[in-house]
Structure 1
Amino acid sequence: MLNKILVVGAGFSGAVIARMLGEKGFHVEVIDKRNHIAGNAFDFHNGHNILVHQYGPHLFHTNNQSVFAFLSRFTDWVDYQHRVKAILADGRLVTLPVNLDTKDQVGEDKVIDTFIRPYSEKMWGLKLEEISPDIINRVPIRNDQNELYFPDDQFQAMPKAGYTKMFENLLDHPNIHVRLETAFEKSMEADYMHVFNSMPIDEYYDYSLGPLPYRSLKFHHVDLPIPRIFPVCQVNFTNDGPYTRVVEWKNIPNSPQNEQFTSITYEEPCSYTENNNERFYPVKDASGKNRALFLQYKQIENPKTTFIGRLGQYVYLDMHQVVSSSIAIAEKFLKENTL
């Protein structure tokens, strides 16, 4: 027990911590309730040999050189600069983030109600004014002709063989053992010196202070006997229907090409209670009441458990931020616990 660690969740946060502790001699057991590793970054080759991300597009980008170097130990990369279009009611495709050309085509006074309000309100289940400005400003409106979605990030690439293969390499260590289709139970904690847990923190505490709101997504995967539909990977909808965007997977360069078929996925946001309790995003509201409730949970004394990831820390993080946070958590633990 003195060197046994339990990691709950085989996504980015859990896998990074497991690898770092495993390399330092700890025996790490990783469990996940799903039947696969890689968390929401899980990808697979479908029946047409197109590489599909099961839970929506995961597009790696960062300025953090140490994060990129860490992941580069487990994958080769394919350069990819993400471009996004929005489709208007008349079928025209215009550039996102909104730039000068987009403003010219729709009118600057219509930008908020065309691109930001409908997408955001569907995504978060709140009125635009109720959503934290931090979320709205993640993709700022521009005053130039830039067409890149992440124009300022130095490292923009996709794992050459896919995310799942990268996770296989990340978890391939003699001190790491992975058990899938295994749900966490508190009784497990007695067998380990410490637990790193990526489950929703309110669920862990049996909702004793009340439930935290999360948003979920339903993914609709479709194969079409068409060589290609869109000029870019991602197209956002501007209408008031239930869907937010569609992704055409073969437009990501690490996906094998099929000259006869294309595969698309369109996304339908919803509450996690409408989607088998699958939680994807914590809800950052303008009032801050959700964060305040999380902080009450966080203050519960529990020295044996460290909560990690988006759900455990109740924070909206990109992949590179999850990796950076997890590296810092592992380094802190290793500094305080040497074998």
Structure 2
Amino acid sequence: MKSSDYALGEASSNHITNTQVSGNKFHDGFQRQFSYLRLSITDVCNYRCNYCLPEGYQCDEQYDNLTLEEIQTLAQVFAQHGTRKIRITGGEPVIRKDLTDIIRVVKSTPGIEDVALTTNGYKLEDKVESWFDAGLDGLNLSIDSLDPRVFQTITGHNRLKDILRGLDKAICLGFKRIKVNAVLLKSYNLQEFDTFLHWLQHMPISLRFIELMQTGDNGDYFRQNHVSGETIKQRLLAQGWQLKKKGPLAGPAQEFEHPDYLGSMGLIMPYSKDFCDSCNRLRISSSGKLHTCLFGDGGYDLRSLIRNNHQADIAHEIQQQLLDKKASHYLQQGYSGSTRHLAMLGG
């Protein structure tokens, strides 16, 4: 069954394979090592998701995105210090006209084994083949509802049909993995839980429910719409889903599988106990700032070093900043740091 038919009808290894790659792995004071980089290439987003940018993207300052050459420099530095996976994020990364070139440059970096992209599906149907040919390994696609009306209410756009056609095309191309993300929202899509599960019976994807996180701008919305991921976990376990073992480059999601389902289920639960213990990711903003935590107090500006391709100095500064990384994001205590909205760093 095609994903588009359903919705409309229903309203690797961590081994270093290149001998040129060497150097100490980036690590923090809690002996966590960082093999995963989330690289934002723009903070501009063309959606108006009510949990993130309800008023749309506000251009309150002139932005100066990382260039292709600067992205290549960063990929090389991180690869030389233990990073094996890079996820390209935004805002919405498809807004960058050179996205395909960025994918190709990152994928060709010695030591980088896995390149993924997070997108809201903008131009997915038209561009996904070129991304695949450039070396993209994984695709994360945001679909917060399978009901076109609810989808439009959440995102501000009536594009569900186009996105689902793009998803079908991506499945046919044969990506290593495809993940569909949905932010759990009590007032909007929570009632679609069973619809999502039924869809997953026939879809060779990983569906991931993301627990809504409180940011600087969404306090009232958070209190009205937050759903505990733990309640969803217990619901899955009661229905016979089994927890899967994590791979070496996996993110924070708890993954579940069921013998009656073609797809798998993932839960990202940042408010769960010990969520940060297995943290393996760092973030670089589209302007070249290092963020050691999505909910930290701010980023450390590496741009001058990046522009001058001072790779040893970049690596030194990253490692120094990591020594100050905290044990937890402290979201459970109501702390959101300097994160105004999730589009700032692509989540």
Do the two structures share a fold, i.e. TM-score over 0.5? no
Larger Rg: 1
- TM-score using structure 1 length: 0.29
**Greater RCO, 1 or 2 (C-alpha within 8 Å, sep 6+):** 1
- TM-score using structure 2 length: 0.29
Determine which structure has the larger strand proportion and give its number.
1
